[in-house]
Amino acid sequence: IHQQMLSQKVRYSPKIGLVFTVTGEKNTLELNHDRVLQRLRKEMDSQAESVDSAMRKLEVIFEDNIQSNGSLCGEWVTLRNNRDDKLKLLDEYALKGAHWPTTRSAKLDRSSISGICTSESDLVEYHSQMEKMEKAAKAVSEIHLKDLQRLRRHRISRPRILFTRGVSCKTGQGLNTLKESIADLVTKIEDEKDIFPHVGSTKPLAYLALERLAQDGRIVKAAKEDQEEGVQKRGEWELAVSKYVEEHAGLND
């Protein structure tokens, strides 16, 4: 599971990443997997380092501009140093899942996943405090602050891998373990709502109907009919969507 998680101010967007490797004897197969994961870890660290470098260049400019204000500078530097400690922890946890499992167990390393969530939460808070000070100081331009804020979000949302599982495309071996691992991640992790915020939530009944009507409309649009008839039918389902939402917008399932 490769998770490109955003800061807590933005919804997380978990993704399942697939990496294909050639088949072969068990020893060769594991070596191939390890080689691929090693390249993957290197690329992900490189992305994080590039963002980190750009972020720190902007922070150095701000620090230089507030040198004359000793108390402000000291407080800001302390926050930055504390932030840096949390970034190191985040980096340590981020790729702990990028290793070929030595067993077929579906159990997850919950300490690493909890560490990611905790580190990210702390980082969001540190950056919030730093940004309040930077805005009040008026030592750099608004564009500078916006760029810095954007880079900090990207830095926190660095690529990470929660766990790695192997599945055979030919035989399906390992699929059950993968499914159990995903279920374990969704239902048993203490910070599950931080990872999959929409799991367990309800949808308004009107929204479900809207989805169905939209799907029906796409089917009509794709049908091989003449242009005039197609336009007429699309108009019908569009009117149906508007009418239903207007009548049932307040209903929940």
According to the model, what pLDDT value does residue 3 have? Answer: 36
pLDDT band with cut points at 50, 70 and 90 for residue 145: very high
The answer on pLDDT for 139 being more than 60 is yes
Residues 237, 189 contacting (CB under 8 angstroms): no
Q: Phi then psi for 14, rounded to 5 degrees? A: -65, 145
pLDDT at 138 over 80: yes
68-104: pLDDT as tens digits: 999 999 999 999 999 999 999 999 988 888 777 766 6
Cβ neighbourhood burial of 178 (10 Å; 0-12, 13-18, 19+): middle
| pLDDT at 202 (0 to 100) | 64
Residues 13-26 pLDDT 10s:
445 555 555 555 66
The pTM of this model reads 0.67
Task: State pLDDT tens for residues 229-250.
Answer: 544 455 566 666 666 666 655 5
- Confidence band for 7, pLDDT divided at 50, 70 and 90: very low
Q: Where are the beta strands (DSSP E) in the chain?
A: 2-4, 13-15, 160-161
Contact, 14 vs 196, CB < 8 A?
Answer: yes
Contact 58, 151 (CB under 8 A): yes
